[in-house]
Structure 1
Amino acid sequence: MRRSMKRSCSSLSRLALLGLGLTVPLFGGAASAQAGQLTVVELFTSQGCSSCPPANANLATISRRPGVLALSFGVTYWDRLGWKDVFARPDYTQRQVAYEKPLGQSGPFTPQMVVNGRTSLVGNDLGEVEAAIAGAAAASPDTGPSLVLSTGRVAIGSRVSPAAGLDVWLVRYDPSQVQVPVRAGENAGRTLPHKNVVHDLIRLGHWQGEALSLPIPPPSPGMRTAVLLQTPRGGAIVAAAAD
């Protein structure tokens, strides 16, 4: 099982970097998708995977880049090999699996980064990661709806909707760097740093072209908030805002 995961990694590392641009920024007390572009980079990682620590470090590096929303999702399929990832959740694994068909993959792997829901690459090569982000920033952005995130609410403007509409996702993540001692599995004896770990992923609703305002529950202490507008079933992210 472990070897098959690594074979997936090496084969997928050759995927072309076809990142496309999308949305967002921040100003005043609200975050708005109209003020600029935000590149969303999702890392699917596991504390049980020996190839993942470099990708965790790369995510921490790119999280400091202006215009990048970097999110770390712990997946569960490594847990059976000796160490249960303390941040992994089945719904994060399901999110990764949902990307398989749209991105032309035959199975999940770690460490995987997905850029704007459109580009997949192995996350442990910083040069490739930065190239994918640069490609996304240089591409023409989609004509998505306006997206404004304020305290307790997100507002989405009216616009012609894609046929399937867009799912509205609420993401809560910890912006601090967290150190986790690992006592078993491939990383036994190591203390692994984590940055921008996702703690909640909630589907708030579905947008179909009309102006929409949705309430947002208050975050737990120390958590940051982001909202993603995404084509259903693992499709492209067309707008995003973060506080």
Structure 2
Amino acid sequence: MTGSKAKGGRLGAIAGAALLALATTNAAVGQPLTVVELFTSQGCSSCPPANANLIKIKDRPGVLALSFNVTYWDYLGWKDTFGRQEFTQRQVTYEPSLGRSGPFTPQVVVNGDADAVGARPGEIERLIAGSGHTKGPSLSLSNGKISIGAGSVPGGEADIWLVRYRQGVIEVPVARGENTGHTLPHANVVRSLTKLGSWTGDATTLPLPAAAGGLSTAVLVQSPGGGPILAAATD
């Protein structure tokens, strides 16, 4: 009986080690993600419901949820504390391919190729279900490197974007504008967006700049001009 227990213990240890190795390998390779971008503004009275809907999915496995705060409502009396012109430009770039005449808030874009207002219950979930995960090359972030596998590239070239964001929920009290007197929660607020280069289909390795200030990192491989997101990974 003792021998059987010892043998069972050894088999259990081997199985556990195998599972750990598999999990480590999967983490290194990176799993496909669904990228959910919310374009929002602290100066927009219709944005809080969409912010709340993004908060509900921010920790969902297989989903990368990001808040991009835009600047075009700042004139209403409250300058968005997270707003950046490059985030506004990212949204503007999306609009033609999404069939929109111009940017609006709130707008949710999933995988770069489907959008909705995002404020009504179930809207974001329906977009996620319809778009699924990104289907491009393998992409992983590890040991200070970005590794992109070989694959086909629509149009022959894709952009590589570095996203730094504050993981979790940040609450911002608003003193002026349409949301005067309200404290607005934001999920996974993007603080910077930088184009690192291009991917042309060959296996590629790039240095991953170190993040500062406790920010989290995401990398997106995306067709230019507001096209579909081909691959995404987080640290």
Same fold by TM-score, threshold 0.5 exceeded?
yes
Q: 1:159: which partner in 2?
A: 151
Mapping for residues 1-243 of structure 1, pairs under 5 Å: 28=24, 31=27, 36-137=31-132, 142=135, 144-243=136-235
More helix by share: 2
Instruction: Give 2:93's aligned amino acid.
Output: A
Tell me the distance in 1 between the aligned counterparts of 2:26 and 2:172.
33
Structure 1 unmatched runs, 5+? 1-26
In the comparison of the two structures, how many residue pairs are matched?
Answer: 213
- What value does the CA root-mean-square deviation take over the aligned residues? 1.7
The CA deviation at 1:152 is 1.7
Q: 1:3: which partner in 2?
A: none
Instruction: Give 1:158's aligned amino acid.
Output: A
Structure of higher CA gyration radius:
2
In 1, are the aligned partners of 2:30 and 2:138 still within 8 Å (CA)? Answer: no
Amino-acid identity (%): 59
Going from structure 1 to structure 2, the CA distance change for 1:74 and 1:30 (only over 3 Å counts) comes to farther
Tell me the distance in 2 between the aligned counterparts of 1:31 and 1:240.
13
Tell me the distance in 1 between the aligned counterparts of 2:82 and 2:26.
28
The CA deviation at 1:162 is 2.1
The CA deviation at 1:232 is 0.2
The CA deviation at 1:199 is 0.6
In 2, are the aligned partners of 1:145 and 1:157 still within 8 Å (CA)? Answer: yes
Tell me the distance in 1 between the aligned counterparts of 2:127 and 2:184.
25
Going from structure 1 to structure 2, the CA distance change for 1:89 and 1:178 (only over 3 Å counts) comes to same
TM norm structure 2:
0.86
In 2, are the aligned partners of 1:168 and 1:205 still within 8 Å (CA)? Answer: yes
Deviations 1:120-149 (A, max 9, x none): 100111311111111122x8x53x222111
Deviations 1:52-84 (A, max 9, x none): 011111111111211110000000000011100
In 2, are the aligned partners of 1:164 and 1:232 still within 8 Å (CA)? Answer: no
Q: 2:13: which partner in 1?
A: none
TM norm structure 1:
0.83
